Chains A and B, each alone.
Chain A
Amino acid sequence: VTAATIGRRFFVYGEVGQAQLYELVSRVLHNEVIERWNFNQLAPGFTDDTATAPLTEHVDIASLDHDGLTELSSTRRLGLTADEMEAIQKWFNSNGRHPTDAELETLAQTWSEHCSHKTFRATIDTPDGVVDGLLKTFLRGATDAIAAPWVESAFVDNAGIVRFDETHDLALKAETHNHPSALEPFGGANTGVGGVVRDILGVSAKPIAITDILCFGPDDVNSRSLPPGVLHPRRIRSGVIAGIADYGNKIGVPNIAGAIFHDASYTTTPLVFAGCIGLLPRGSNPTEPQVGDYVIVLGGKVGRDGVGGATFSSQTMSNITAEVAGSSVQIGDPVVEKGLIDVVVAARDLGLYNAITDCGAGGLSSAVGEMADELGARVDLAAVPLKYAGLAPWEVWLSEAQERMVVACTDPEPLLALAGRWEVEAHVIGHFTGDGRLTVVDGGETIVDLDTDFLHNGRPPLRLAAGMLDTTRPPRTDPGRLPEGVTANEALLALLAHPSIRSNEAVIRGYDHEVLGGTVVRPYGGAALDGPADGTAIIPPGSAPLEQEQSVLEQSEGHSKARAAVVGIGASILVGRHDPEAMAWAAIDEAVRNAVVAGADPRQLSLLDNFAWGNPHRPEALAGLVAACRGCHDAAIAHGAPFVSGKDSLFNEFVYEHGSPDPVTPTLIITAVGIAEDVSLIPSTGVVADGNDIWLIGPAPGHLGASYLDEVTGGDRGGEVQPPDPGAVPRHGQLHRAISSGLVQSAHDLSEGGLAVAAAECAFAGRLGMTLSVASTHGPAELFGEGAGRYLVEVGPDDADAFAELVPSATRVGWVTDDDRLRIGVEIDVSLDEIGEAYVGHHYQPAPANLIARAATPDGIPADAPEEPDSATEPQVESGGDENGDDR
């Protein structure tokens, strides 16, 4: 056998016409981006090992005018503006020669939105004055203003680095992988995970956790209404989820946190955000290549997949994108990346390299180009291992792969031997010269010879104009009442069944969240392990010495005082439609809430930002982006939580055949990462024991503008969206103090759907009833309003005074009952099974009694049932003390 291939054959039964067959193939069975098909027989598509590589092309640009340059950029899909093309023309003219195709591609990749973040670095004229770069002014600006002592590195390398304990740091990164996931959901999401894991490896950290946030169109879109080239949301959803599961599970990094949102605007532009956390010993990420160091490429061989990923992801999509950009989607190989992790971590610990970076977008061109920034380097493509013959030199130089790293080594031999021991490809492909030039030869021919200063600093700065942003909202119609004919019970059950609120347990169980053995707080927990957790926590494997673990073993079933890394995620997409600045505040507050509930100290949080926006060259889209960045800046400073890394994805617009753009809902995802000092104090998911008190932190009424209540009861009924609320910030610290004092048995934040949804989730997760009363009558603002800094907290009755003292913003609003009903005033009265049927869906089955875990006393024996309060009686609303000025 010299070659083998696989294919799939479908048998179609019944009376099916030719047209229906074609529709079945194109809509359901086959993805033209990566697959071929035929009736009956299909010839195998073997690669041709005898194919000859195309020659390097020299492109005459000297004589082109403005329009000619624009057209060249367009036909070669370089994604460069006329200004940028003119700068390139000028440089080559002054050097008296034509650029090669490889040089044009190198410049296009390096200057792409994806690699150079030119919109976030652009000077922006706004109605309120000039903004000298969104990144510098707002994101890094907040980080500089906070000057947090725990930040080791922010915005400089592939990932941010923050302190974890006395000896170790965490590396943090969150990526977007939207465009590829729209075309080829499995491959796009698959390599999205691979890419962010590789970013973490690019700062010498061992990946320990993956996160993912997904945004899809509605499940019930009519497939005939979709424009050509757009896959059905269900197909995108299942492909993306399978792609994330495949890569994360195979690479052996637990997927511990995420969210799934559904909205009509995500139909043509689905969003995939993947994050990763890594652990590294402090000071173990060398970043200085030396003159004379060898350039070594580690990992997967080079193929044609992934060519042009950076330029592709920096452009808007249309119905023809699928045809021309198919090769931009890479093919993931998690087993190769797992080997890379083993080699890089071992090489790091042995001190075998002087610098490391990943072959992300732009492949070798960006990896070597970045490392050679000041020194210069010379690379021979003949030494680069290829998957198959026939690749043009520029394709070898540009091809992206998740599973490829470049390192700088003084002595390559120990690294090559180490790689051999782990069966990972490693090849010396060049050296660092010190001449300040990036030189690439292919055998005898020079295909790239660029001044690194021009490559990295030659891009003409971008200047953009932002329009006015109108965030005024109509007053709420019929405030204080639910729409005619809707009861509070019905609204609650509809909210619990909303696609962005309902249980994703079935999806999450397809991800391995246990591998590495460090997971402490899972995405789903509670008495039957099916209640939603807010944040999640992991003890970084390798951070706690075994002796510490073993000393704990001597205490029967005790918990160690081990320290955990905590992840909280925040998003507020409904608010973002109306007020991007308020969205930024809401998203950051939610990420902080989720992290605090999972045990993090809010005084030591670090933030990651992910923007998914439309075309920033449209002034109204840019106005929203400026407002969101301003909100990020102000909220980060209010919380004392610096941004350490991030990733923006712009041009998320689908352009129809007739030319009109369909921009995505402006979406900001915030990931907050913090530290829980003692995992044994982290509150439980779901209420724990009947007889305990329930406290509400923060004000009872919330905001109904852009709320999920409106989403499930017929649409926007006006009213204020939840506004920036600096007064909410101290409440996070109050809750954390109570958690640190061991007073909090369980906690849950109030987010989508407000108090009623949070209470339903607490009761369901704990498989216990709750009886609450937060006001004399409970209108929609009290039951379903949304706002910052609000939590439901379970505290033992004996701890009430101590809790009230530590959390002056809390009010005692009820208690846990041993029946199976959630009651809020007289307005809401539902059973746990009704909650389960709405929240889990039609396949919900009540858990058998012996699979419902009950409260433990410290020695591990179930507590005796405390005296039952009369659950039918309205609890009195009691003030917890000083209202701290932030309750309304």
Chain B
Amino acid sequence: MSRPSVLIPVAPGTNRNDELAVAFEAAGARAAQVPLEALRTGETALTDHQMLALPGGFSYGDALGAGRLLGLDLTGWFHDQLHQGLEAEMPIIGICNGFQALVHAGLLPGSDLPASLTDNDHGRFECRWVWLQPASKRSVWTAELTEPLWCPVAHGEGRFLVDDPEPLVEGDQIAFRYGDPDGQQAHGVYPLNPNGSIDDIAGVTDATGLVLGMMPHPEDHVFGRQSPHRRRVNGNRCLPLFEAGVRAVSG
């Protein structure tokens, strides 16, 4: 069948849209990078596409908090399109700033589960490679992942907090936990858990498992040559994550 199309909206200050598009194209999709203004004026609509991917960056300069204004867009003028997509069981992924926007918009982890992404424990922006343990067995994004993923984080406000992670565990909504190369959880130990997220949570899904948000950047480790190691043991690329999403809409 033809390659499914993933819509990648680009807000002012969004900046990881190019490599996100490359990651989806490598996984077999077509990527449409569209500025928000072109979405607002109806140049294209979410329903013209099969998937939605919200990239990382500093949308609107992170004024009023990371992802907050983009979150307002999602609940404002983009609301109807977004809910049409959700009703059509469209896979949606938000990475870093996109995750922050989905949380602010109340889509993650869910309207009845308030959560926040706040300043890293150590209070600084930090760029470093982390190991991710896939957890959720019901999300289309993670159910088939068998190996840990290895990719960089690059954020200052990535500490995921909820009052009680238990409902997320019970709902199988934890997509990824920070861990180590052997598949062990980080148990809050820095730098394995780079930001102090509760229960080492690096990514969550909504109740359906279709909407995934995560702080780390799998789009930056799709190809082997992106690994920091050349003559050392290598692997744990993140392409399977994008392939899982594409497979879900390829029938």
Task: Using A252-B15, A339-B12, A515-B15 as known contacts, say yes or no to A557 and B127 having CB atoms under 8 A apart.
Answer: no
Most buried by B among A249, A335, A546, A746: A335
When distances are taken between beta carbons in the complex, the residues of chain B under 8 Å from A800 are none
Task: Using A421-B38, A557-B237, A560-B225 as known contacts, say yes or no to A250 and B26 having CB atoms under 8 A apart.
Answer: no
CA distance A546 to B224 in the complex (A): 14
A335 pairs with B60, CB closer than 8 A: yes
When distances are taken between beta carbons in the complex, the residues of chain A under 8 Å from B230 are 559, 679-680, 682-684
When distances are taken between beta carbons in the complex, the residues of chain A under 8 Å from B220 are 514-515, 517
B233 pairs with A862, CB closer than 8 A: yes
A250 pairs with B225, CB closer than 8 A: no
Task: Using A335-B13, A510-B127, A514-B154 as known contacts, say yes or no to A420 and B224 having CB atoms under 8 A apart.
Answer: no
* Binding-face segment, B17-25, B99-107, B196-204: B17-25
B232 pairs with A549, CB closer than 8 A: no
Q: For this complex, into which size category does the number of interface residues on chain B fall?
A: 35 or more
A679 pairs with B233, CB closer than 8 A: no
A539 pairs with B37, CB closer than 8 A: no
Say yes or no for A423: interface residue by CB 8 A criterion: yes
A677 to chain B, nearest CB (A): 13
Chain B residues with a Cβ under 8 A of chain A: 10, 12-16, 18-19, 22-23, 25-26, 35-38, 43, 56-58, 60-62, 124-129, 152, 154, 180-182, 217, 219-220, 222-226, 228-235, 237, 239
A511 pairs with B127, CB closer than 8 A: yes
A688 pairs with B234, CB closer than 8 A: no
Interface residues of A in 554-606 (CB under 8 A from B): 557-560, 562
* Binding-face segment, A97-105, A849-857, A874-882: A849-857
Please give me the residue from chain B that is nearest to A249 by CB atom: B125
CA distance A682 to B231 in the complex (A): 9
Please give me the residue from chain A that is nearest to B239 by CB atom: A553
B126 pairs with A509, CB closer than 8 A: yes
A423 pairs with B154, CB closer than 8 A: no
Say yes or no for A388: interface residue by CB 8 A criterion: no
Task: Using A249-B58, A529-B128, A546-B22 as known contacts, say yes or no to A423 and B12 having CB atoms under 8 A apart.
Answer: yes
Please give me the residue from chain B that is nearest to A562 by CB atom: B225
Say yes or no for A516: interface residue by CB 8 A criterion: yes
Say yes or no for A550: interface residue by CB 8 A criterion: yes
When distances are taken between beta carbons in the complex, the residues of chain B under 8 Å from A422 are 12, 35, 37
B128 pairs with A519, CB closer than 8 A: no
When distances are taken between beta carbons in the complex, the residues of chain A under 8 Å from B13 are 250, 334-335, 338
B235 pairs with A250, CB closer than 8 A: no
CA distance A510 to B226 in the complex (A): 20
Interface contacts (Cβ under 8 Å), in number, total 162
When distances are taken between beta carbons in the complex, the residues of chain B under 8 Å from A336 are 12
A562 to chain B, nearest CB (A): 6
Task: Using A553-B223, A853-B229 as known contacts, say yes or no to A516 and B19 having CB atoms under 8 A apart.
Answer: yes
A464 to chain B, nearest CB (A): 45
CA distance A542 to B220 in the complex (A): 14
A553 pairs with B26, CB closer than 8 A: yes
Q: B61 is contacted by which of A245, A250, A519 (Cβ under 8 Å)?
A: A250
17 contacts between A and B (CB under 8 A): A252-B15, A334-B58, A421-B37, A512-B125, A514-B220, A515-B56, A516-B18, A517-B220, A529-B228, A546-B22, A549-B26, A557-B235, A560-B224, A688-B232, A855-B232, A860-B234, A862-B233
B17 to chain A, nearest CB (A): 9
Please give me the residue from chain A that is nearest to B153 by CB atom: A514
* Binding-face segment, A443-451, A520-528, A633-641: A520-528
Task: Using A335-B58, A338-B15 as known contacts, say yes or no to A549 and B223 having CB atoms under 8 A apart.
Answer: yes
A546 pairs with B232, CB closer than 8 A: no
A557 pairs with B232, CB closer than 8 A: no
Q: A850 is contacted by which of B15, B124, B181 (Cβ under 8 Å)?
A: B181
B38 pairs with A252, CB closer than 8 A: no
B45 to chain A, nearest CB (A): 16
A251 pairs with B15, CB closer than 8 A: yes
Say yes or no for A745: interface residue by CB 8 A criterion: yes
Q: B36 is contacted by which of A423, A525, A559, A684 (Cβ under 8 Å)?
A: A423
A688 pairs with B231, CB closer than 8 A: yes
Q: B26 is contacted by which of A420, A510, A512, A550 (Cβ under 8 Å)?
A: A550
When distances are taken between beta carbons in the complex, the residues of chain A under 8 Å from B18 are 516-517, 541-542
Interface residues of A in 499-552 (CB under 8 A from B): 509-520, 522, 525, 527, 529, 539, 541-542, 546, 549-550, 552
When distances are taken between beta carbons in the complex, the residues of chain B under 8 Å from A550 are 26
When distances are taken between beta carbons in the complex, the residues of chain B under 8 Å from A539 are 225
Most buried by B among A522, A679, A746, A853: A853
When distances are taken between beta carbons in the complex, the residues of chain A under 8 Å from B43 are 421
Q: B228 is contacted by which of A423, A511, A522, A861 (Cβ under 8 Å)?
A: A522
B12 pairs with A680, CB closer than 8 A: no
B152 pairs with A514, CB closer than 8 A: yes
Closest 3 CB pairs of A and B: A252-B15, A517-B19, A853-B232
Interface size, chain A (Cβ < 8 Å): 63
When distances are taken between beta carbons in the complex, the residues of chain A under 8 Å from B233 are 853-856, 860-862
CA distance A854 to B181 in the complex (A): 13
Please give me the residue from chain B that is nearest to A520 by CB atom: B225
B231 to chain A, nearest CB (A): 5
B58 pairs with A423, CB closer than 8 A: no
CA distance A333 to B10 in the complex (A): 18
A887 to chain B, nearest CB (A): 29
CA distance A560 to B223 in the complex (A): 9
When distances are taken between beta carbons in the complex, the residues of chain B under 8 Å from A335 are 12-13, 58, 60-61
When distances are taken between beta carbons in the complex, the residues of chain B under 8 Å from A518 are 19, 226
CA distance A511 to B233 in the complex (A): 26
B115 to chain A, nearest CB (A): 24
B121 to chain A, nearest CB (A): 14
CA distance A510 to B231 in the complex (A): 26
CA distance A313 to B152 in the complex (A): 38
Please give me the residue from chain B that is nearest to A558 by CB atom: B224
CA distance A550 to B36 in the complex (A): 30
When distances are taken between beta carbons in the complex, the residues of chain A under 8 Å from B35 are 342, 421-423
CA distance A245 to B126 in the complex (A): 10
A679 pairs with B225, CB closer than 8 A: yes
When distances are taken between beta carbons in the complex, the residues of chain A under 8 Å from B16 are 252, 515-517
When distances are taken between beta carbons in the complex, the residues of chain B under 8 Å from A861 are 233
CA distance A785 to B222 in the complex (A): 43
A713 to chain B, nearest CB (A): 34
Most buried by A among B126, B180, B228, B239: B228
A517 pairs with B222, CB closer than 8 A: yes
CA distance A267 to B239 in the complex (A): 49
When distances are taken between beta carbons in the complex, the residues of chain A under 8 Å from B14 are 252, 338
When distances are taken between beta carbons in the complex, the residues of chain B under 8 Å from A682 are 230
A515 pairs with B125, CB closer than 8 A: no
CA distance A515 to B36 in the complex (A): 21
When distances are taken between beta carbons in the complex, the residues of chain B under 8 Å from A520 are 225-226
A869 to chain B, nearest CB (A): 20
Q: B235 is contacted by which of A251, A562, A850, A860 (Cβ under 8 Å)?
A: A860
Please give me the residue from chain A that is nearest to B182 by CB atom: A850
CA distance A525 to B230 in the complex (A): 10
B235 pairs with A546, CB closer than 8 A: no
CA distance A145 to B127 in the complex (A): 43
B127 pairs with A684, CB closer than 8 A: no
Interface residues of A in 837-852 (CB under 8 A from B): 848, 850-851
Q: B224 is contacted by which of A250, A514, A527, A557 (Cβ under 8 Å)?
A: A557
When distances are taken between beta carbons in the complex, the residues of chain A under 8 Å from B228 are 522, 525, 529
When distances are taken between beta carbons in the complex, the residues of chain B under 8 Å from A249 are 58, 125, 154
CA distance A520 to B180 in the complex (A): 22
Task: Using A338-B15, A515-B154, A560-B225 as known contacts, say yes or no to A855 and B231 having CB atoms under 8 A apart.
Answer: yes
Q: A513 is contacted by which of B127, B222, B235 (Cβ under 8 Å)?
A: B127
When distances are taken between beta carbons in the complex, the residues of chain A under 8 Å from B38 are 421
CA distance A672 to B239 in the complex (A): 34
B18 to chain A, nearest CB (A): 6
A202 to chain B, nearest CB (A): 20
When distances are taken between beta carbons in the complex, the residues of chain A under 8 Å from B180 are 848, 850-851
A35-56 interface code vs B (CB 8 A; 1 in, 0 out): 0000000000000000000000
